[in-house]
Amino acid sequence: MESEKIWFDGELVDFKDAQVHVLTHSLHYGLGAFEGIRCYERADGRRYIFRLREHIQRLFESCKICLMDLPYTVEELESACVETVQANSFQDCYLRPLAFLGHGKMGLSAVGNKTHVAIATWDWGAYLGEEGLNNGIRAKVSSFTRQHINSSMVKGKITGQYVNSILAKREVMNAGYDEAIMLDGEGFVSEASGENIFVVYRGRVLTTPTGASILAGITRDTVMQLLGERDIEVVETRFSRDMLYTADEIFMSGTAAEITPVREVDDRQIGDGQPGPITKLIQEAYFDLVRGSSDAHPEWLTLVE
């Protein structure tokens, strides 16, 4: 994961010098916000950051939810992301903007502690593995419940809230599966540990609505727009885990996971156990946007060089 430079509080510093104090407030209490963004080399040989504006806007929204004041504008952080990619040698890379409270007061409120911002990049291939990306993953419904909308601010990409996902992920991986599926407090399918879920059932594509306990993913939004442009209806609705078992296709979406098929849930084969036609269609459309030569959505691409 080591890179040449990390953007830290307004300047590029060497990887080894991007350090914080052990009493950094967010390290102890988990109040911070982050984003996951990808930069791809496209068919023209140049690098583009995918949906940068939407990611940085969501970072600001997460910080607002957390009552953290960012000392930069959206435009300044967009430029900082481009600058960070330019300062490192990766062709494709993952970007991690992070806002966190520094050391100072150690009470829970930490009012007055400085908000720091860092942007790192690293080379990150298929998050759930190349095999999973091509042929599908094995998923398991976790015993851990996705946070309720009144117990956590589920619309924010908040650092400490990911303990819930980490426990779910570790649980299912220790049992031999690739990814965890989490139910909400009422037993309906929420999302995976770090991805949104799409189910294809009898010709319709279903996904959990944004009003439920999910993070409304930017890749999720991309998928919904691409499906709509191909006259494939997407229905936002709640559904139970047994609909997963009887689905024709299931796939997950996320910046890290991209578009990953699911071939098995709770030891039940999905469809014929292979990525289905709608899954393959959306995979092809997505990768043509981020790596190919599609000119369908130029507003989603920020040129690095």
Is 155 in the active site?
no
Q: What are phi and psi of 9, to 5 degrees?
A: 55, 45
Q: Are 187 and 232 in contact (CB under 8 A)?
A: no
Longest dimension (CA), the chain: 57
> Would strands 234-236 and 249-254 be described as parallel, antiparallel, or unpaired?
unpaired
Tell me which DSSP letter residue 146 carries: P
Q: How far apart are CA 238 and CA 197, in angstroms?
A: 11
Helices 74-86 and 52-65 pack at an angle, to 10 degrees, of 130
Catalytic residue from among 140, 157, 169, 280: 157
Residue 302: alpha-carbon gap to chain centroid: 18
Q: How far apart are CA 285 and CA 138, in angstroms?
A: 24
DSSP string, 75-127: HHHHHHHHHHHHTS--SSEEEEEEEEE-SS--SSS-TTPPEEEEEEEE----T
CA nearest neighbour of 304 among 115, 39, 25 = 39
CA angle 166, 168, 170 (to 5 degrees): 65
> Would strands 301-303 and 189-192 be described as parallel, antiparallel, or unpaired?
unpaired
Q: How far apart are CA 196 and CA 181, in angstroms?
A: 9
Question: Which residues does the annotation mark as catalytic?
Answer: 157
